[in-house]
Amino acid sequence: MDLDIDEASAAFRDEVREWLAEHVPRPALSSMDTAEGFAQHREWEAKLADARLSVVSWPREYTGRDASLLQWLLFEEEYYAAGAPGRVGQNGIFMLAPTLFAHGTQEQRDRILPPMARGEQVWAQAWSEPEAGSDIAALRSRAVRTDGGWLASGAKTWSSRAAFADRAFGLFRSDPESQRHRGLTYLMFDLRAEGVTVRPIPQLDGEPGFAEIFLDNVLVPDTDVIGEPGEGWRVAMTTANNERGLSLRSPGRFLAAADRLVTLWREQGEPAAVAERVADAWIGARAYQLYTYGTVTRLAEGGGLGPESSVNKLFWSHLDVALHETALDLLGPEGEVAGPWTDGYLFSLAGPIYGGTDQIQRNTIAERLLGLPREAR
């Protein structure tokens, strides 16, 4: 057992560190949930791509680096430690792309991945519906066969960044007789296509961080179906595991936040009352980092990512909330003043909801990891 970093990975990490030190924009970009900030974040993606740093875990032919999972983790650690901008393209890069690598056609990969890697096409995840949140298999949006493709209709909602994004991916019921997980088809569609209406929804901070998407007989060509029609659920689960498992929130983000918290605590005269919680935030971030090193070791040796990904998600969502609560409590009466800590706090509150709620993760852990009987549902 060791924590050694091989030479190639260390060299890569150093390169990333140096590049970021030179290029991370100061002052920070505007919020990506505004039109102006979204455009700035797009440009940043292009800059990353020019340095071949936007999609390091992808194959070289798609401007990636063939980075190993460990190298990707190191990239993320450097990225967040440098205070680099949030990734406006993350749902495409970390959810859709792995799905295309696993189930897409060569034509789809060649057409879709290059503009994705440069932020020229930003993708939104359109999974949730008003009546299908945790219970995603209850989805009602439908796809009806037409010449050369499908006509998609229905309502998707809570789609992050859809207010300004270009394209979206989601599941549609293509077999009207089907129930639950069967008879679903995985489609990609243009958010500006005829029949699509996007209604931006402001979040707690007042900015339209997500949107509702209405589809009314939107023509989706066969070339924008991923996998076989009717097989959408199986295809989607690749993406879901990627989201919950590793890529949604890598340890780098929390390590950087924990460091900022420790700095804040020191600046405030090391108040004893919150000392334990500050230490716990750092311990949590370190635990998550080491846990993830273990996961990537296992994956590199051919293991899979199963219900353990729920352990991951439950852990970081709690860590993130606790870390930000500690910062606000530490600041006492000044804690309410709006700024990076309150922004981070509000953002952290969504963590136990998106990507599968805490309650759903706990059920998965209890039932699939511990073998407890399924709850009636």
Task: Return the active site residues.
Answer: 243
Our finding on whether 133 is near ligand FAD (CB under 6 A) is: yes
Q: How many CB atoms lie within 10 A of CB 171?
A: 24
CA nearest 296: which of 16, 32, 67?
67
CB 239 within 8 A of CB 245: no
Please tell me the distance from the alpha carbon of residue 88 to that of residue 54, in angstroms, as a whole number: 11
With CB under 8 A as the contact rule, the residue among 115, 307, 335, 344 that binds another protein is: 335
With CB under 8 A as the contact rule, the residue among 9, 31, 134, 241 that binds another protein is: 134
Residue placing its CB nearer to ligand FAD in the complex, 128 or 141? 128
Our finding on whether 204 is near another protein (CB under 8 A) is: yes
Binders of another protein: how many residues, by CB under 8 A? 44
- Of another protein, ligand FAD, none, which one sits near residue 336, judging by CB under 5 to 8 A according to partner kind? another protein
CB 67 within 8 A of CB 2: no
CA nearest 141: which of 130, 357, 162?
130
With CB under 8 A as the contact rule, the residue among 336, 340, 369, 372 that binds another protein is: 336
CB 235 within 8 A of CB 226: yes
Give least dist CB 136 to ligand FAD, A: 7
CB 13 within 8 A of CB 78: yes
Binding to another protein, residues 295-334 (CB under 8 A): 321, 328-329, 331-334
Give least dist CB 361 to another protein, A: 10
The residue behind tokens 């859709």 is: 96
CA nearest 99: which of 227, 222, 190?
227
- Of another protein, ligand FAD, none, which one sits near residue 159, judging by CB under 5 to 8 A according to partner kind? ligand FAD
Largest CA distance in the chain: 69
CB 153 within 8 A of CB 210: no
Using CB under 8 A as the criterion, which residues of the chain lie in contact with another protein when the complex forms? 128, 131, 133-135, 138, 157-158, 201-206, 210, 271, 273-274, 321, 328-329, 331-338, 342, 345-346, 349-350, 352-354, 357-359, 362-363, 375, 377
Residues that bind ligand FAD in the complex, under the rule CB under 6 A: 125-128, 133-134, 158-160, 210, 350, 353-354, 357, 359-360, 363, 377
